[in-house]
Amino acid sequence: MTTRERDPFAGFTSSIVHSDRLSPVEHGSLHKPIHATVAYGYEDANELAAVFQGKKPGYSYGRQVNPTVEALETKLNRMERGVASVCFGTGMAAIGTAIFALLRRGDHLVSSSFLFGNTNSLLNSFSAHGIDVSFVDATDAREIAAAIRPNTKMVFVETIANPRTQIADLKGAGELCAEKGIVYVVDNTMTSPYLFQPTDVGASLVVNSLTKYICGHGNALGGAVTELGNYDWNRFDNIYPEYRGADSTKWGITQIKKKGLRDFGAALGPEAAHHIAVGAETLALRLTQQCRSAQALCEMLDAHPSVARVYYPGLTHHEQHARVAELFRHAGGLFSFELHDSVDTFEFLNALQLVVKSSNLGDNRTLAIPVAHTIYYEMGAERRASMGINDSLIRISTGIEDVDDLLHDFQQALT
Ligand SMILES: *Cc1c(COP(=O)(O)O)cnc(C)c1O
């Protein structure tokens, strides 16, 4: 390829930063404006009808379409190398709506047992509504294979599980789902499309909580589902006739948007979409620093006499360290660790000066939380034990502070 033929926006960050102006924007605005409107008016009633009937592109009602949200969806497509994305008010809304739109009573879903706590709770709710759910150790695709039944319609995994950082057998699950014709959903929140692109392992749909790394600043909630074009929905018998358009790789996302988002209504607002779009411009820069700090802190803690165990995929003793090296750009900005019995978990946390005690992750600030006592409290001791959550487990999400300040804060709090 000559230098002239090279796509000038080929790089990950270049494509995000210039995404808006690649479609016409009023006044040459470099950001897609915040379109604070619910409805869209038409001079000609025939045109209004054509838009509603899907015969003409256009905007119908704010619960399903908004130009500012659409601009963010375009960015997400570029980031995940997908064919279509739909945004939601939160990450939970994205996961819930996708499953609600695609599965029915009597269907079976196989999920990783190492899950974000609220997703675990959500899947249990679906199970109470007649969708069978099996939880398996997804770090080994053979465990997923063993749980597959004739009515299995979906496999759901996360990339790096929070808080213990187990890494699913992403490639093995992709091969299995391709062979069996099962929809393969990857929650990419913990890695974000900068560290890992699930299309590389044959995922059908990607879920992202935009609240975390993609927005990054802890100032807006959002979620998204991206269709990657790898799955032929002809193999899936739950698609209603009205959503079976010409391109069968888009039937799933069409049903999620036209039925799921419309019926459930968990739409992303245009103001939040703007915050997320601006945040996404620095995703690669922030996450590179966050991963670097996580690695440095984990190496320090791993050698510290007061620390019993550190869970971070960037450490060579992590069980899936080789998988990270093969699939991910860096090992992520999240880790957890257990203190020796001689150190009180809460005293340690209270001694931290720079690090904030908070439940979020992917923020620009470094955040710490005692897992068993907070986000995993409701599920009870038995389920916590099955997930490997010890009472002294502390989860850390690294921010973008200077790494020397972070190292110093942890060291002073441990002594
Ligand atoms: C936070 C999170 C979610 C849910 O996202 P919200 O935007 O908080 O609703 C889903 N999956 C993972 C892995 C998460 O970390």
Judge if the beta carbon of residue 198 lies within 6 A of ligand 1.
Answer: no
The CB of 119 under 6 Å from ligand 1? The reply is: yes
Say what the pLDDT of residue 384 is. Answer: 87
**pLDDT for 301:** 98
Cα–Cα distances (Å) from 70 to 14, 223, 288, in that order, read 19, 13, 27
For residue 354, how far is its CA from the centre of ligand 1 (angstroms)?
Answer: 24
Distance from Cα 189 to the centre of ligand 1, integer Å: 7
For the record, the structure tokens of 278 come out as 């601006």
Question: Domain 284-414 in CATH: superfamily?
Answer: Aspartate Aminotransferase, domain 1 (3.90.1150.10)
Could you give the residue range(s) of every CATH 3.40.640.10 domain in the chain? Answer: 12-280
Q: Average pLDDT over the chain, rounded to whole?
A: 96
Listed residue (395, 360, 397, 394) closest to 286, CA to CA:
397
CA distance 336 to 1: 45
CA distance to 154, 165, 389, per residue, from 384 (Å): 25, 15, 5
Residue 3, pLDDT score: 64
Residue with the smallest CA separation from ligand 1 atom 8 is 91
284-310 pLDDT, tens digit per residue, is 999 999 999 999 999 999 999 999 999
Going 389 to 393 to 399 to 403, the CA torsion angle's sign is: negative
**Predicted confidence (pLDDT) at residue 144 exceeds the cutoff of 60:** yes
Q: 314, 316, 284, 280: which is closest to 297 by C-alpha?
A: 314
* C-alpha 370 – ligand 1 centre gap (Å): 18
pLDDT at 376: 87
The CATH code belonging to domain 12-280 is 3.40.640.10
Residues 6+ apart with CB under 8 A from 58: 40, 42, 47, 50, 51
Average pLDDT of the segment spanning 333-358: 96
Q: Which of 106, 178, 112 is nearest to 149 (CA)?
A: 106
For the chain, give every residue range classified as CATH 3.90.1150.10: 284-414
Cis ω before 24 (30° cut-off from 0): no
Going by pLDDT thresholds of 50, 70 and 90, the confidence category of residue 117 is confident
pTM above 0.85, yes or no: yes
